[in-house]
Amino acid sequence: MKTFNQASGQPMDRVDGPLKVTGQARYAAEYPEDGLLYGSVVSSTIARGRVINIDSSAALAVPGVRLVLDHRNRPRLASDDENYADADSADGSPFRPLYNDRVLYSGQPLALVVAESLELARYAGSLLRIDYQQEDHQTDLLAVLDPAHPAPAETPKPRGDFNGQLANAAFSIDATYCTVNQHHSPMEPHASTVFYKDDGGLEIHDKNQGPQNCQDYLHKIFAMPKDKIRILTAYVGGAFGSGLRPQYQLPLAVMAALQLKRSVRVTLTRQQMFTFGYRPRTVQRLRLGADAAGRLVAVGHDAIGQTSRFEDFTEHLVEWSGMLYQCDNVALSYKLAPLDVYTPLDMRAPGAASGMIALECAMDELACAAKLDPVQLRRINFAQNNGNEAKPYSSKELLACYDQGAERFGWHKRNAEPRSMRKDHQLIGWGMAGGVWEAMQMKASAKARLDAEGRLTVSSATTDIGTGTYTVMTQIAADAAGIMPRDVTFVLGDSSLPTAPLQGGSFTVSSVGSAVREACLVIRAKVLQAARDHYPELADIPAEEVGFGDGYVHFGDQRLAIADIVANCPGGVLEVQIDTEPNKQREGYATATHSAVFVEVQVDEDLGSIKVSRVVSAVAAGRVINPKTARSQILGGVVWGLGMALQEEAQTDHRLGRVLNHSLAEYHIPVSADIGDIEVIFVEENDDIVNELGSKGVGEIGIVGVASAVANAIYHATGKRVREFPITLDKVL
């Protein structure tokens, strides 16, 4: 069958845009109900110890206060006897709020005050008196590097003779790079509005990246039937990984609602947004060896990351060093250092954003040692296969990324000598780096329903965290069914919908999109069969000569409205639900997105201040469903990468074990004044192996490599190699 209209591949405006810009889109803390109660979380002020006593008498004496929950009076839970993990949990014992008197980290929730207004709840919370038995704590990764233990991660085994080849290399690099804790800091704080129903059921508006994960979590810890718990997540004001796991406001709000048999809302403050998962601090040693021609003969990447004492958080931190470039002698290791902190959490391009800083800065240092152009060094070491898996890539247009990015940037004009390019008092530096992110696909389901008015409704329990899911699923559905995008409605963010994975890892389009496409193709086949049943002139026309598009079935020079065909079906409706999973042909291949990032910096020779004036990001991500929203994803990733390079740092007072700059006033992230010109290039890449859509996803790849490209540009401008991030002006001076 032919397809006439083609929405995919076109820069379509966001279908949810008008609701967001007019304020009609409601977020988790914006759903009203008469009699709604409000909860305020009271957090610990010490990093480790025990709670001796909580005096809540003054708080309970405040008119309008309905409840003070703490570890002594909270309801008994199914999770009291067992550890119940969620879909994104780390190895170990997941944190359980108000579980007992133990204080595991500074900022831990110790009580929930529930009152008739948020102001009352917060005021009453300030009246609580908490006595502690304080214990010695440790929150500094650099103080516990030696006792770090191997991470329970699938780190690739060593291959070849790393030590021998490194010792005999013509050029070698041995450098250590440090990254800091970074917090997600989305615009919308985490919140849960729990509507208590007459039958004891719960309807919950929650900020998360997987409503079914949250439903399953509550089902386990409260021993409630799943059909009594409905999680709704229609709109999410940014998440970047912070909503992959249920955050502690959700079980606290449910505890209060069940105890009071009332509807309750709990919203975290901006300061409390710094009291759960984050990108973990790392110390990474890179050892590279190359022969006289610049070919890598040895790659060693040893990393230590921080974790909590109750869970071993792992991410793909070192694997990239064994797969991005061709090398037969590779040694990778990854260790964890437990601290008195909350467990880290996946954060945009988890592992790759940090690990690629070390690899790509080391590659730049190797290029300088071998007196090779940084792009040329990477070309020499281009890998057709993923060395970790010993598999060829399904597609890899990284060389084209180098070519197109360098040409657009004007890389051929670069003078390789550090401090050789300047404009007045500004030292000009040009740097570049490569990027890689895995192209994954998960099992997913979708339901499609076509009615007699030609309206197609497609649904799946995924979310839209600002990435454009509503829009790209509309485009995919419209193409597959032959319907105009304006006649398609995509429904998401509801735990009662067909199964979908967490939205993360850049796999939503490949996973949910594949299910949407398949469901709509089945609907299209049903439409054709119904047309043959009711219109004799179609009966003998071969399927390949029948076309679908613009809401019509086309054959020869004639067409039939799809709406009219469906109107003749029983009930005037066609409906189907489909389950999909990765195809078998993927198993023989490695799948990944790639990029090349080129950066220009200006460094004031007297002040050391740094300005990124230009960025060109060339990305190969298979078929891009919506270039407009995809470009926005890359732009956002680049901006975040600039923050990683120059600004973002959660500063901890290790004497207190507490984050000091826990606000958007002092936790520095890039603003408009920090951003110069950013150009995004989508390199053509055809891949019929990765999935039926040929799409690899763009949510993560935009940030990977940006920070290292900035660091490399700063070295080129100043001649000073800074290996501790962020690169603030004091380090440059």
CB-based contact 694:686 (threshold 8 Å): yes
Q: Could you give the 3-state DSSP secondary structure of residue 110?
A: strand
CB-based contact 705:641 (threshold 8 Å): yes
Of 261, 602, 298, nearest to 421 by C-alpha is 602
Cis peptide before 726 (omega within 30 of 0): yes
Give the Cα separation of 544 and 541 in Å (integer). 8
409 φ, ψ (degrees, to nearest 5): -75, -30
Give the Cα separation of 24 and 234 in Å (integer). 12
In the chain the first and final C-alpha atoms are separated, in Å, by 65
Residues facing 459 on adjacent strands: 447, 491
Which one of 360, 649, 700, 724 is the catalytic residue?
700
H-assigned helices in 137-261: 162-167, 211-222, 249-260
Give the Cα separation of 392 and 339 in Å (integer). 40
Give the Cα separation of 378 and 365 in Å (integer). 12
Name the DSSP letter for residue 343.
P
State the chain's maximal CA–CA distance in angstroms: 85
CA dihedral angle for residue 67, residue 73, residue 77, residue 80, rounded to 10 degrees? 140
CB-based contact 678:617 (threshold 8 Å): yes
Catalytic-residue membership of 700: yes
Tokens at 371, concatenated:
């007196």
Element (H, E) at 601: strand 592-604
Q: Could you give the 3-state DSSP secondary structure of residue 637?
A: helix
CB-based contact 318:328 (threshold 8 Å): no
Q: How far is CA 348 from CA 306, 508, 699, 703, in A?
A: 17, 14, 8, 8
285 Cβ contact list (under 8 Å, min separation 6)? 174, 175, 176, 177, 300, 301, 302, 303
CB-based contact 362:285 (threshold 8 Å): no
- DSSP notation for 665-718: TTS----GGG--EEEEEE-----SSS-TT-B---TTTTTTTHHHHHHHHHHHHH
Give the Cα separation of 121 and 41 in Å (integer). 9
Tokens at 97, concatenated:
């709020």
CB-based contact 337:305 (threshold 8 Å): yes
Give the Cα separation of 554 and 398 in Å (integer). 40
Point out the residues that are catalytic: 700
